[in-house]
Structure formats: structure tokens, C-alpha cells
Amino acid sequence: MVSSVHADRIDLLRRAMAGRKVDACIVLSSDPHLSEYLPDHWQARAWLSGFEGSAGTLLVTAAFAGIWTDSRYWEQAAGDLAGTGIETMRAGADGVPGMLDWLCQHLDEGSRVAVHGLTLSVQMHQEWLGTLQARRIELLTELDLPGDIWPDRPALPAAPLYEHQPPFACRSRAENLAAVRQAMQREGARWHWISSLDDIAWLLNLRGSDVSYNPVFLAHALLGQDEVRLFVDESRVDAALRQRLQHDGVRLLSYEDAGQALAGLPAGEKVLIDPARTTVGITGQAGAELIHALNPSQLLKSRKNDAEIDHVRRAMEQDGAALCEFFAWFESALGTERITELTIDEKITQARARREHFVSPSFSTIAAYRANGAMPHYHATPQSHAVIEGDGLLLIDSGGQYLGGTTDITRVVPVGNVDAEQKRDYTLVLKGMISLSQAVFPVGVAGSVLDAFARQPIWQALADFGHGTGHGVGYFLNVHEGPQSISFRAPSRPSSGMQEGMITSNEPGLYRPGKWGIRIENLVANRPAGTSEFGRFLQFETLTLCPIDTRCVLPELLTEGERNWLNAYHAHVRERLEPLVEGAALAWLEERTQAL
């Protein structure tokens, strides 16, 4: 049976396409800031299709509708799209063409393809143009066809902005501005355009609540050598903050005026833009010369200073104490209370909310029981969720935003009996996580090189996992940030090499569709390992403080070194968290940190 709501919306889109003589419409999961998490106003793909995953691209023609999404969302997409008439296109799977390849195979020369330019990066636009023009297919970026048919489209958020202040803000606004301006000068740019929200928030020591889980706000910025033009709704900035911003040379302009800002610069002026973080809808009318380079703030904010890392350590203590309280409750309630995946989300957030300097979750908690754990980005809903009962593995991936840092942790715990195959998979993942934790590597090495440390024990078992092993993490900012990542699939660039102070996740996994999923995740910081005649070297400091459940471990599969690492980690966790917990939480901590 076709889902009438989403089928009707696709039909409306097709009518709008016909009216504009458009043969194909692409709807991206993005906004004018190319954010990972989108305000409701920019959730056009989800509104049209019903697919709620955070990554995926909808393509609609007169006779076809499909969503391309990666392996994290294949199972979820199949469920969300059932009955809609929209096909799940398993991006990266054998025999599944890429979206552009599909277009080139199915569209005739002279066809017209529309995508809203305010959701398409400059970099992607250049790549698409080369492919489509070779087939004489026209790419239109000035139309917002989903917006034309979307009644009662949600308004843009309008909550007040606030300042990230000392002691948690460890760099002044003036220091951040000076560092970025120096980078601009090295690139020969007089101006720098910034649309990425975490870069703007970091640069100006401002925070907001416009995007779920990330303490950022909707704005664009044009940075000159003597001024900053901040395009944001002025009503969201109180008088005192406005005065402090003016003191630092920040001038407030309307958010709606951002689109004309580059067009208003004189021809010949040089403007630095990051083509991966700026949309073609913004740059399309620019008369100035555009210099393509990474946003300098990307690298600057990724390298946390010693004061920031010390605050993160304190935030990890608070986060670990909250998790002790949660797991103590969970184990005592299991079998006596009705617990669902939704209950876990509620309880873990409540535990964090009782800790010092907590602001919000850092992403939507993933509580996935049994087969649901095989979907790396599974999301329980009131309409579809599991009850935690019987035997199985429960995967919990959660995190918090604190004034002094951002956390992200995954643990897998047993419910009832766990069989030998589950324990074997769990132990393989643990071996991979420990291997990466112990890595020593030269400054500047690519994260793609480090990926093999975590995957080797899993590869040796002829298994693998489809996601990256690690992503950068912000400082009271986005839980996913660049430029570094630990993934053999990620392109290696000079700007993404490992540098001192970066905080990255360490999260190998192993997933058995229809059975279970296992992922163990800590956050690690790049710290100095020493200097020799071969150069400077880094090592990882594990920041996350929470026991790893040894009930799922097959000890005979661990080497002596791995066993020693795990026991030392648990001793460290116990030492750091004991002063912060009491009663049942303390008893749970002591039991779960016993030496193996």
C-alpha cells in the first residue's frame, strides 16, 4: 500500500517540475550552512519522502523517485520508505550506480536538472557541472521547487544568542580573529566568507540553539582585515552583547542580506572561501575573485589548547559519573521495570542533566537492542522501538554538551545470556579499539593510515564495518567536526593530518544484520609522545571515563598487552570517578572496573 502523504508530496513536486520544464529534481540533506543537523525549515528531503536519516539525497523524475544513502542507513531507509513508491538506492553497494551516473544513464541530452543552490556546495557544484555538461544536461541552481510546494513550512529559529565566556572560553574573540586574519594574509585574501555555523560560533565566542544538539546559530560572516560583518537577526542579540561585539569590530546586519554581500564587493577584491562549506547560491553573483581554501578556523579550532583539554577532562568526569548513575539504575531495573529503547534515552539524559555545566545532549541518543544495533545510526521512535527483555546485546551511543567540552561515547552491555559468537564479535571490536588507543604516530600523519590499527583484528576475522573509525569532536561545539577523520575511505589532504590537541573518536564496530551490532567508542586527544631524529611524534590520551563491560569479553582472545591496557584503563576510570559518585552508582563502578 502506497503511503498517501508522501506519495502525494512527490506528485506535487512532479507537477512543479513540469511547470518549470524540469526533468529531474535533486533534494539534498543540507541547508545554506551545509550543516549535518538541519533546522526544521530545511528538512525538505524528510518532508517529501518520510526518510528521517541524517544523510541521503532524493532524486525525482517523472517516472522514478529514489534516495541514495550510505550503509549506515540502508535498513532504516528500507523501513522509512516502505509503501512510499520511493526506492532505496544503496550507495556504494555493488551494482548500484551513483546518483550522477544514474542521471547520465536515464536522461536525454538537453534535459534540465534542478537543485536549490543554497543547499549545494561550491565544490560539489563544480564536480556535478563537469559530469552533467559532458552529457549536455543543464544544471539549474536558482529554483527551490520543494519550497514552492511546502505549505506551512516551519519558520527559521529565533532563540537568543549568548556568549561562551571564561573560564570555559579559553581564547578571546580578539585572539581568534587575529589568528584567522593571519591565515587570510598568507592566502593573499583581503576578505573571508564564512557560512559554516561552528566556524562562526568559534570565531566570535558565541553560542546558540538553532540546530538540534549543536550549540550554534544561523548566521553568515564576512571577515575583513578591520571589521566583521555578521549576518544574523539583530533581535536575537541583546544590547550588552551587541556592545561587546561592536567593541571587537563586529557589525550586525540582517540575515536575509547575506546573499548580496559578496555581490557588493568591488571587482578585483580577493575573498577566501571554503568550497566545501560555502554554497553556490551564496557565491553565484560574486564579482570579487574567490580564493578556494580550507576555512582557517577549521584547523585552528580543531587544535584544542591545554586549558581546553583540561576542561574536557573535567567534563568527562561529570559525564562518566552520570553514566555510572544511569547504568546502576539500568541493571537494578532490568527485569523489574518495563524498559524500552526510548526509556534509555530519557534516563541517560536525566542523569547527565544533574551534572555540573551540562547544556544538552550532543546528538540524538542511539539505544539499539538486538537486531536494531546492526543499524549504526538507528533511531527509536514512539511508533517503532524495542522493549529491553530476554537475551541480547544493547548498544548505547550517547553524548553531552557541557560548557567545558563535548562528549560522545558508545558502550554495549549484555541483557540476559550472551552467546559465544556475540562475545567473539565484541572482543574483536575491543581489540581494535585498544590497538588504536595505543598507536604512536608522526605529527601530520593521515587519519586514513591510523584506521588500519583499529580494523586489523576485525579484518583478520574476515569482517569489517562500513563507517569511519573516528571523527573530530568540537569543544562545546559540533560533535562532528573536521578537518581530521580516521577512515581509509576519507581523502588524505595536508590540512587533515593529525596535529597536537585534536580530539577524535575511536569507535570500531561489527554489525550482523538481523542479529546484533557492536561498537565501542572512546574519545582520544592527540598528545606529544616525544621527539627524535625522525621528527615529532604523537600518541592518544583516552579522555572518556566509563567502564567497558567485560561480561562480553572472551579473555582468551586478548593478548597480555591488551588485558593490561584494559585493566589499567579501568583502574584509571575508578580513580577519577570514585569521588563523584556514591551509593548504587559507586557500587556499580567498583564492580564494573574489576581487573580481568
Distance in angstroms between the alpha carbons of the first and the last residue of the chain: 53
Structural domains in the chain?
4-149 (3.40.350.10), 162-301 (3.40.350.10), 303-592 (3.90.230.10)
Q: How many CB atoms lie within 10 A of CB 135?
A: 15
Backbone angles phi, psi at 532, to 5 degrees: -140, -175
Strand partners, 153: none
> Are 211 and 35 contacting, i.e. CB atoms less than 8 angstroms apart?
yes
Q: Which residues, including other chains, have CB under 8 Å from residue 13's CB and lie 6 or more apart?
A: 25, 48, 60, 145, 146, 149
DSSP states of 443-472 as a string? TT--HHHHHHHHHHHHHTTT---SS-SEEE
Secondary structure class of 164 (helix, strand, coil): coil
Q: What is the pLDDT of residue 3?
A: 61
Model confidence pLDDT, tens digit, residues 231-269: 999 999 999 999 999 999 999 999 999 988 888 898 889
Secondary structure class of 51 (helix, strand, coil): coil
Chain CA centroid to CA 586, Å: 32
Cα 437 to Cα 506: distance, rounded to the nearest angstrom: 7
Place of cell 561489527: 510
Average pLDDT along the chain: 94
Which parts of the chain register pLDDT below 70?
A: 1-3
**Is this structure's pTM higher than 0.85?**
yes
> What is the DSSP secondary structure assignment for residue 153, as one 8-state letter?
P
